Structure 1
């Protein structure tokens, strides 16, 4: 990969706060207004976001774990009320890569690599990266970059962004063909402008952190982690530092600004460390190796809280197929933390894998009564119902989830499977159609919907709904701003 293109990940869209303000007292920010003022319309920004998401779905492995996704959503929406966003309808993505990376692109798409959880040792550090990304969206930095590229269409930008994200996520040349095919030189033209936005995003991000009750010192602490990793890797500079090498003065500047905020008693949530434990297991060499690692953590040598160490060991045992050990640990954790959803959901998963399907269903149904609409609970309940050959019940839950999370391609796949097991052929075609749309295959989606319409009796509500969906797809294609 061209060395300049490799480094653009941080500067253009990953925005991992690698440049900090030199003057902490300067809080003046430009007024961007609405869709006027020369900026591209929010409709085009949304279309760019959709295009990037489709590219990522087709080209990258993503982490679909509902516990991880639910946590990411919760921490982002803890920050959102304090970010000056015009559009607060955000979509979350977790890329399955152990490298540190995060990104925000037009249309309200927020993403992280799984590796950010591995390297951010506290919730405050993790939240600092999310606050920085929200600041990029709030200040519409990408809209400004697009405005400067007079010869580039939003579709071209969408292709470049997807290619750069893909290259960063995979740490290979797999995405560079996308960039090269969409005016790669224009990316370099955007470099300096992106650098000027970093100071603004850092400053706004620190304010968001403080207002949300999170520790702004998480930002300089994250800088320190990046600096240490850069030293360890030697000449192989991490991608997020390729264009913005960290210096001690930059770390000092960010800490000075953080020091201007009042002292508070900041506490990490346990949930962050439980999610981090899950991903430490996920990225271990093997489940058996993860068991060894978490067994050694029991002596207090890990920065993880004790409950997270025990939980990580349970998840490792589960991955290694030792459901008995996993269940024992999880039941003990639930005695110490009654009603904690992550422990309940993981216990139900353990029971399911051990063949205790009725017990798992009962556990999740009870949890659902106390927490209706909770994503991890509903997801796990549907999985157990499907495993127990209760396909109709599973399909009903998946239909509920797809209404809540219509952009989740994995949910549509599971709905299609459940509808097939329940012998609802029309439902299979409709679910597959939505999956194909999310993957960017409009023709396949239309074929599925036409087959569904042929099987539906004319004049019935189902036939009319399918016809309306077909018409909507046609309109969306004709009206696309790209």
Structure 2
């Protein structure tokens, strides 16, 4: 069952990035893929992606990307799906969409954008694929592709790129051997048609949303310059088998020349982008590379976010004493910025200075009551102090913001158990295992919760968990 899940996931990932498929005169995989089918497929793959691919849980990053997505969706013609977005911790310049209206943006893409319009251009392009249902059409056309050869080839390509180790690469090479000849050019031509369509539909929506249309070709130029799309990253990277960037940049610039100046002269407010990039650089970029970037900038030009980021990187490198010095410089530069307060609070929590951590985290939450990460660490601190009456409601606020986060369910379960609420503890541990795609462990915790249920309300909660386990198990089988 685990291999079938991986192979299916690899198939959709490859399709969503335009990977070429081998031909085989076998039975149809799909004759017609309905919107209902796409929604079901999307929910299943989204669960796997969230469990296996390092989804970023920082609300600052998530809410920023969601805001861009929502803005573009609102400007488009009616979409066939409700769009859901997530950010994946990966340094590739990548974004992709899967069936059912799910879009994923890589941190590497966000970090490399110079303006919000550039980031919006790639997001708008991916939403163009969604609105035109290119994925459904590609899957329908794959009726000329044998199921076994298709899954084998795509899983092989995926393993060869993502496995990292020598054995994974050899396995990938073995799976894909002999299966890529034949209809590749036809599939490439089809992909060219899709990409051109998504470019133009995406540009329409980003212009309507108020962005500068130059952002789309400018982002493609950044991709072309860095050439990360040709081999970097953990999974097949954006545009690796798509039509040439030079061609696309050319026809997009030609179209922009015919637009009114009121569109091409639009200015971006990149304030939020810079804050998000500061967090990505400090937390999600390889530590040595991030430190090198900070060192290349004169300290006289540092902002509070630069001081903060350098402190975070030094802590990652276990240079705690130096890290504290930079965190203090960040607070001295701006001790009213909720992001600086949150990260300084997290630093002092992680280094065991709980009194100072508590003060900073409380101030961060006061400044930004919706910051789920600040609330999360504040709850942990309250629990460590034995203040369960405050820790539990605080963690429940976090859960309300991220209801399917396995880590939040785990810590809420742990805190509830420590407080004496064994029923609630096992219930949330069950949810944690469920969202980690561990149904057997989830069932075990649900059984323990059921044995402790006292009221009808408790029993209903257990039944809800069991039904969800059953539902997700059926999807994954």
> TM-score over 0.5 for the alignment?
yes
Matched residue SS, 2:33: coil
> How many Å separate the matches in 1 of 2:150 and 2:459?
39
Matched residue SS, 2:370: coil
Matched residue SS, 2:105: strand
Matched, 1:47 2:40: yes
Offset at 1:227? 1.8
Gaps of at least 5 residues in structure 2 are 1-9, 20-30
Offset at 1:327? 2.8
Q: Note closer, same or farther for the CA distance 1:325–1:268 as it changes in structure 2 (3 Å cut).
A: farther
Q: Note closer, same or farther for the CA distance 1:74–1:344 as it changes in structure 2 (3 Å cut).
A: farther
Moved more, 204-213 or 316-325: 316-325
Q: Note closer, same or farther for the CA distance 1:243–1:297 as it changes in structure 2 (3 Å cut).
A: same
Moved more, 342-351 or 216-225: 342-351
Q: Note closer, same or farther for the CA distance 1:231–1:177 as it changes in structure 2 (3 Å cut).
A: closer
> How many Å separate the matches in 2 of 1:223 and 1:91?
21
2:282 maps to 281
Matched residue SS, 1:266: coil
Aligned pairs (5 A) from 1:151-230: 192-230=189-227
Q: Note closer, same or farther for the CA distance 1:342–1:256 as it changes in structure 2 (3 Å cut).
A: farther
Cα contact 1:281–1:316 (8 A) shared by 2: yes
Matched residue SS, 2:96: strand
2:338 maps to 341
Matched, 1:466 2:462: yes
Cα contact 1:93–1:111 (8 A) shared by 2: yes
Matched residue SS, 2:273: helix
Equivalent pairs, count: 442
Cα contact 1:9–1:165 (8 A) shared by 2: no
> How many Å separate the matches in 2 of 1:159 and 1:369?
53
Cα contact 2:118–2:215 (8 A) shared by 1: yes
Cα contact 1:160–1:178 (8 A) shared by 2: no
TM-score normalised by structure 1 residue count: 0.75
Cα contact 2:93–2:228 (8 A) shared by 1: no
Q: Note closer, same or farther for the CA distance 1:248–1:418 as it changes in structure 2 (3 Å cut).
A: same
Matched, 1:69 2:62: yes
Q: Note closer, same or farther for the CA distance 1:252–1:197 as it changes in structure 2 (3 Å cut).
A: same
Offset at 1:450? 1.7
> How many Å separate the matches in 2 of 1:146 and 1:234?
25
1:430 maps to 427
Cα contact 2:229–2:239 (8 A) shared by 1: no
Residues 109-154 of structure 1 show CA distances to partners (whole Å, capped at 9, x for unaligned) of 2213332233323332222221211222222221222333348999
| Structure ranking higher on relative contact order (CA contacts 8 Å, 6+ apart) | 1
Matched, 1:294 2:290: no
Moved more, 363-372 or 108-117: 363-372
Aligned pairs (5 A) from 1:386-425: 386-391=383-388, 393-425=390-422
> How many Å separate the matches in 2 of 1:422 and 1:136?
49
2:254 maps to 256
1:125 to 114, 118, 125: 118
Offset at 1:105? 0.6
Cα contact 2:115–2:270 (8 A) shared by 1: no
Gaps of at least 5 residues in structure 1 are 1-6, 17-37
Matched, 1:271 2:272: yes
> How many Å separate the matches in 1 of 2:404 and 2:183?
28
> How many Å separate the matches in 1 of 2:367 and 2:183?
50
TM-score normalised by structure 2 residue count: 0.76
Residues 150-199 of structure 1 show CA distances to partners (whole Å, capped at 9, x for unaligned) of 48999x99999999778766677579869969xx8799686543332111
Cα contact 2:406–2:432 (8 A) shared by 1: yes
Residues 233-278 of structure 1 show CA distances to partners (whole Å, capped at 9, x for unaligned) of 7999x94343235353432211222342523341242232232233
Cα contact 1:429–1:448 (8 A) shared by 2: yes
Matched, 1:87 2:90: no
1:327 maps to 327
> How many Å separate the matches in 2 of 1:39 and 1:329?
60
Residues 353-379 of structure 1 show CA distances to partners (whole Å, capped at 9, x for unaligned) of 344434433443444345433333333
> How many Å separate the matches in 2 of 1:73 and 1:175?
39
1:20 maps to none
Q: Note closer, same or farther for the CA distance 1:342–1:77 as it changes in structure 2 (3 Å cut).
A: farther
> How many Å separate the matches in 2 of 1:235 and 1:419?
43
RMSD value, Cα: 4.4
Q: Note closer, same or farther for the CA distance 1:475–1:308 as it changes in structure 2 (3 Å cut).
A: closer
> How many Å separate the matches in 1 of 2:224 and 2:102?
27
Q: Note closer, same or farther for the CA distance 1:61–1:374 as it changes in structure 2 (3 Å cut).
A: closer
Q: Note closer, same or farther for the CA distance 1:8–1:56 as it changes in structure 2 (3 Å cut).
A: closer
Offset at 1:81? 1.6
Q: Note closer, same or farther for the CA distance 1:379–1:158 as it changes in structure 2 (3 Å cut).
A: farther
Matched, 1:378 2:384: no
> How many Å separate the matches in 2 of 1:88 and 1:128?
20
Q: Note closer, same or farther for the CA distance 1:435–1:149 as it changes in structure 2 (3 Å cut).
A: farther
> How many Å separate the matches in 2 of 1:113 and 1:409?
21
Q: Note closer, same or farther for the CA distance 1:290–1:263 as it changes in structure 2 (3 Å cut).
A: closer
Q: Note closer, same or farther for the CA distance 1:347–1:118 as it changes in structure 2 (3 Å cut).
A: same
Cα contact 1:117–1:126 (8 A) shared by 2: yes
Cα contact 1:341–1:377 (8 A) shared by 2: no
